[in-house]
C-alpha cells in the first residue's frame, strides 16, 4: 500500500467505523459490563484495544492509535493531552532514581526544563550531548545510562542526527532510545526502521494541522510497549475523544498538506538564502545544513519549518523584523495551515554541551499554505524594517 493510500485507510477498519466513513466520537468515562465474564475478559485484555475504562480509551482512541502504529511502525501507541505530556510520560515511564539520561543539546526547550526541574530533583542525572555526536555517543555511556533522547531535526536549529548509529550503540548496551519525531510527522521518517525504541509526536502540529487541538502520542516497539502503556496509564495520561477525532481527520489530508508546506517552504528558503542580510539558512534539505546526508538517507521529504540566521542585529532590529507582519503571525508551535514567525536573540543560551557557530539572531519560520509570493512580499517588508533599524 502506498503512503497516501495508507493515510486514508489507516485506522478505518469496520470494527471502528461500522458503516460510516469515519470512526465515531465515543465519549465515555465508565464502561459497563453485563457479566463477570465480560468484566474479566476486558480486564485481561485492557491493553488490546478492548473497552475497559474511559482513560484506557474508546473506539475513537483505538482507531487513531491503530493508525499511528500503521504509519510509524510501532507495536502500540499511548495518547497524551499534548506533545510535552508525551515527552514527560515516555521518560517517566522508564527512568528512576540513579539513572543517567543522555539528552540532545538541541532539544525543544520544555524538554530541557523537564530534565532540570523534574528529573534532576528526582535523582535522574541528565547529561547533554552535541546533536552531531554520532558514534561518539559511545564515550558517554555509563553503567547506569538508561536512555538516550533524540530530536531530529532539532526543531529550532535543524541539526539532523545520525539516528541509526546512535540507536545501534544504545541497543548493544541495553539503553532505551526515544526520538521526538514531530518534525517528520508520522510519514516523513520511519523511526522504528532506524532502530528507535519509542517515537514521540506532538500531534498538535502536523497531524491535527489546524492549530486548534492539543494532543501527543508515544509509540513503542514490542519490547517497551507494555511498560509504556501501563506506566502512562498509572500516571493518569489520557486524551479527549473529541480531540482524537480531530487528529484522525487531520491524518487524511496530512500527505497533501505536507507536500504543499514543503513546496512553499523550499521556495521561500532558497529566496531567503540569497538575501545579503542572511548569514545562513538552517533547512535539512539544504546541503549546508548539519546532518544533511542523514536527512537524505533517513527522510522522504521536508515540511514547512526552517530557520535562518541574520548577520547582525540586536533586540531593536529583530523587533523591527518580526513586528508589523501582514501574513506571518508571531507565536509558538507550528504545523498548522498558517505561517508563523519566531525570533531567538541568543541560541547559545539554550545550549550547554555544544557551540552554536553564529552570533547573529535566529528567525524561525513556519511556512503555511498561503501563496508563497504573498509570504515573500511580507518578508521583503520585514527585511526593509530590519535594515532601517540597524
Tens-digit pLDDT profile for residues 345-379: 999 999 999 999 999 999 999 999 999 999 999 99
257 catalytic residue (yes or no):
no
Residues 34 and 171 in one domain: yes
Place of cell 541568543: 346
Range of the domain at 366: 254-389
Can 197 be counted among the known catalytic residues?
no
Measuring CA to CA, which residue among 150, 36, 39 is closest to residue 104? Answer: 150
Residues 24 and 88 in one domain: yes
Among the options 55, 249, 267, 275, which is catalytic? 55
Regarding whether 49 and 190 lie in a shared domain, the answer is yes
Check whether residue 198 and residue 112 sit in a common domain: yes
- C-alpha 270/C-alpha 264 separation (Å) is 10
Q: Are residues 186 and 304 in the same domain?
A: no
Residues 299 and 364 in one domain: yes
The question of whether 53 is a catalytic residue gets the answer no
Q: Which SS3 state, helix, strand or coil, does residue 270 take?
A: helix
CB atoms within 10 A of CB 214: 18
Q: Which of 202, 198, 207 is nearest to 90 (CA)?
A: 198
Cβ–Cβ < 8 Å for 115, 59: no
- DSSP E strand stretches across 59-144: 76-80, 100-104, 125-129
Instruction: Catalytic residue, from 105, 162, 180, 243: name it.
Output: 180
What distance in Å separates the CA atoms of residue 79 and residue 241, rounded to the nearest whole number?
A: 11
User: What single DSSP character describes residue 299?
Assistant: B
d(CA 329, CA 105): 28
Final residue of a domain: which of 208, 229, 251? 251
CB 159 within 8 A of CB 290: yes
Report mean pLDDT in 10-residue bins for the chain, 390 residues. Answer: 89 87 92 92 78 91 96 96 98 98 96 97 98 98 98 97 98 98 97 98 98 98 97 96 98 98 98 98 98 98 98 97 98 96 96 96 98 98 97
Q: End-to-end alpha-carbon separation of the chain, Å? A: 54
According to the model, what pLDDT value does residue 169 have?
Answer: 98
Domain total in the chain: 2
From CA 112, how far away is CA 129, in angstroms rounded? 12
Query: Which CATH number covers residue 361?
Result: 3.90.1150.10
pLDDT of amino acid 331: 93
pLDDT for 233-269, tens place per residue? Answer: 999 999 999 999 999 999 999 999 999 999 999 999 9
pLDDT at 150 (0 to 100): 98
| Final residue of a structural domain among 251, 267, 287 | 251
From 108, 224, 233, 245, the catalytic residue: 108
pLDDT value at position 46?
64
pTM metric for this prediction: 0.96
Q: Which of 226, 251, 276 is the last residue of a domain?
A: 251
pLDDT of residue 291: 98
Shared domain for 275 and 305, answered yes or no, is: yes
Q: Where are the beta strands (DSSP E) in the chain?
A: 76-80, 100-104, 125-129, 145-151, 176-180, 198-201, 216-220, 278-282, 305-310, 329-330, 340-344, 362-366
Catalytic residue, from 205, 229, 252, 282: name it: 205
202, 261: one domain: no
Amino acid at each position: 500500500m502506498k503512503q497516501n493510500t495508507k493515510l486514508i485507510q489507516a485506522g478505518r477498519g469496520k470494527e471502528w467505523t461500522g458503516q460510516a466513513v469515519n470512526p465515531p466520537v465515543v465519549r465515555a468515562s465508565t464502561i459497563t459490563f453485563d457479566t463477570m465474564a465480560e468484566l474479566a475478559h476486558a480486564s485481561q485484555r485492557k491493553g488490546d484495544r478492548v473497552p475497559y475504562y474511559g482513560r484506557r480509551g474508546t473506539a475513537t482512541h483505538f482507531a487513531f492509535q491503530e493508525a499511528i502504529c500503521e504509519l510509524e511502525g510501532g507495536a502500540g501507541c499511548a495518547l497524551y493531552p499534548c506533545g510535552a505530556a508525551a515527552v514527560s510520560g515516555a521518560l517517566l515511564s522508564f527512568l528512576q532514581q540513579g539513572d543517567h539520561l543522555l539528552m540532545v543539546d538541541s532539544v525543544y526547550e520544555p524538554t530541557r526544563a523537564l530534565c532540570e526541574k523534574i528529573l534532576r530533583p528526582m535523582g535522574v542525572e541528565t547529561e547533554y550531548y552535541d546533536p552531531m555526536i554520532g558514534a561518539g555517543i559511545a564515550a558517554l555511556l555509563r553503567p547506569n545510562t538508561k536512555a538516550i533522547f533524540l530530536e531530529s531535526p532539532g526543531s529550532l536549529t535543524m541539526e539532523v542526527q545520525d539516528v541509526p548509529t546512535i540507536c545501534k550503540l544504545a541497543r548493544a548496551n541495553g539503553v532505551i532510545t526515544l526520538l521526538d519525531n514531530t518534525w517528520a510527522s508520522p510519514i516523513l521518517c520511519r523511526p522504528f526502521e532506524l532502530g528507535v525504541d519509542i517515537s514521540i509526536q506532538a500531534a498538535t502540529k502536523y497531524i491535527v494541522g489546524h492549530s486548534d487541538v492539543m494532543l501527543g502520542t508515544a509509540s513503542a516497539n514490542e519490547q517497551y510497549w507494555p511498560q509504556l502503556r501501563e506506566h502512562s496509564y498509572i500516571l493518569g495520561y489520557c486524551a479527549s475523544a473529541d480531540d482524537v477525532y480531530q487528529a484522525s481527520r487531520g491524518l487524511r489530508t496530512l500527505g497533501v498538506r505536507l507536500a504543499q508546506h514543503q513546496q512553499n517552504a523550499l521556495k521561500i528558503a532558497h529566496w531567503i538564502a540569497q538575501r545579503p542580510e542572511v548569514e545562513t539558512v538552517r533547512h535539512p534539505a539544504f546541503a549546508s545544513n548539519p546532518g544533511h546526508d542523514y536527512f537524505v538517507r533517513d527522510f522522504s521529504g521536508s515540511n514547512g519549518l526552517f530557520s535562518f540566521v541574520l548577520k547582525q542585529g540586536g533586540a531593536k532590529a529583530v523587533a523591527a523584523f518580526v513586528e508589523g507582519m501582514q501574513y506571518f503571525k508571531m507565536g509558538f508551535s507550528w504545523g498548522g495551515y498558517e505561517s508563523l514567525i519566531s525570533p531567538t536573540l541568543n541560541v547559545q543560551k539554550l545550549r550547554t554541551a555544544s557551540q552554536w557557530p553564529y552570533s547573529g539572531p535566529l528567525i524561525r519560520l513556519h511556512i503555511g499554505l498561503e501563496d508563497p509570493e504573498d509570504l515573500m512580499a511580507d518578508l521583503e517588508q520585514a527585511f526593509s524594517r530590519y535594515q532601517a533599524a540597524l
